Amino acid sequence: MHRGPVMVLAEHGRITDVDLTGANPPEGVAVTDLGDATLLPGLVDAHSHLVFDPNGNAERQMVDDDDATVLARMREHAARALHAGITTVRDLGDRGYLALRLREEYEEHAAAEADAAVDAGPDGLLGPQIVAAGPPLTGSGGHCWYLGGVADGTEAAVAAVRERARHGVDLVKIMATGGMSTTGSNPGGSQYSPAELRAVTDAAHRLGLPVTAHAHGAAGIADAVAAGADGIEHCTFMTPSGVKADLATIDAMAAAGTYVGATVVKPREGMPAEVLQTIEPYWENQALMWRRGVRVVCCTDAGINAYKPHDVLPLDVAYFAGQVGTNSSALASVTSLAAESCGLGASKGRVARGHDADLLAVRGDPVHDLGALRQVCAVYRAGRVVRTAFR
């Protein structure tokens, strides 16, 4: 972290220079002085669900609501994230490729603005960068079946990968095990065989797509890692006799550079006992993985319940830092490391020349106190003002 004057120059949505010498701005350049603030790259939430209404019943809404209704909600969710300084959202499970549709809307709007066909300004349709997996692959009646990604067996799963590639997804998400939020699903149980997982990762990699696997069960995690998955979401290590880290798999992940999406979960009153029992060892395992060199990315699973609004990342990362690593490593985990995990290491997650001008300015020093992340004084997306304290 640099202390002292910082001047960031941006043009056409990109950072063209970062000056730390206290130099005067070049002549004729429009300047915004943010005063005494900490400037960070915009945050990256590497595990979100824009289709999920935190206050709604996901299963019912995903079955009953039409695309227009769901899209209207997604616009609100995305705007809420962006307003909090989350300038990139990786959507790890939508319905009907609606996250890609939303991204198209933003892109069309940005192009129209560039042509001056529509008004530029803070009220324009400005959204976070969206990275999208489309509907996650799952078994019949399996975790998140209601998103429409059911694919049983090798042939159907490989066909599903190809279908996603045709739709233009950025990666493939597969539910390697059951999940907690789906009625009747067993989070510890595997949904795919090692051979099926291998067929999916091979098919995706041939198409240039990374794969991330949702996995709570230790067996499902080990199988997905052995199959060459690029990321594991949650990575809880559930076994029939409780949560237990599997060191061989952890070291294999560290060696392969596998990302772990550490979705932040906090103990709270009224939680089912079987979930509560997993939380303490879950965090012990995340910390263990981090110490053993696994690339642990702090992320949210935004949308899945009322505690997970789409702007929860700044709050979640403070909790994460109390469990895993340091404030500095936690900040890297929601910026540069998260960007790398999304395949955007060259354009997001750093305040550096050539990177997108996605910026977050906050009052205070987040390295000292991560609560500062919620004292937002400005957000920029591709060089355009999302909010400043002066407006």
| Nearest CB to Zn ion, comparing residues 144 and 157 | 144
| Nearest CB to Zn ion, comparing residues 170 and 301 | 301
Contact residue for Zn ion among 94, 196, 301, 356 (CB under 5 A): 301
Where are the strands (E) in the chain, listed by range? 7-11, 14-19, 38-41, 43-48, 86-91, 129-132, 172-175, 211-217, 231-239, 242-243, 259-263, 295-299, 359-362, 376-381, 384-388
Site stretch for Zn ion (CB under 5 A), options 26-34, 111-119, 240-248, 300-308: 300-308
Q: Which of 235, 210, 227 is nearest to 342 (CA)?
A: 210
Torsion of CA 71, 76, 82, 84, to 10 degrees: -150
The CB-nearest residue to Zn ion is 301
Give dist(CA 256, CA 250) in Å, integer.
10
| Nearest CB to Zn ion, comparing residues 200 and 376 | 200
Residue type, 161: V
Site stretch for Zn ion (CB under 5 A), options 22-30, 269-277, 285-293, 295-303: 295-303
Site stretch for Zn ion (CB under 5 A), options 35-43, 72-80, 293-301, 340-348: 293-301
Give dist(CA 356, CA 121) in Å, integer.
19
Query: Residue 58 CB, nearest distance to Zn ion (Å)?
Result: 10
Site stretch for Zn ion (CB under 5 A), options 145-153, 188-196, 197-205, 299-307: 299-307
| Nearest CB to Zn ion, comparing residues 48 and 258 | 48
Total interface residues for Zn ion by CB under 5 A: 1
* Joined tokens for residue 61: 């809404």
Query: Residue 160 CB, nearest distance to Zn ion (Å)?
Result: 18
| Nearest CB to Zn ion, comparing residues 90 and 198 | 90
Query: Residue 47 CB, nearest distance to Zn ion (Å)?
Result: 6
Query: Residue 302 CB, nearest distance to Zn ion (Å)?
Result: 9
The three-state secondary structure class of 324 is coil
Give dist(CA 156, CA 176) in Å, integer.
15
Give residues in contact with Zn ion (CB under 5 A): 301
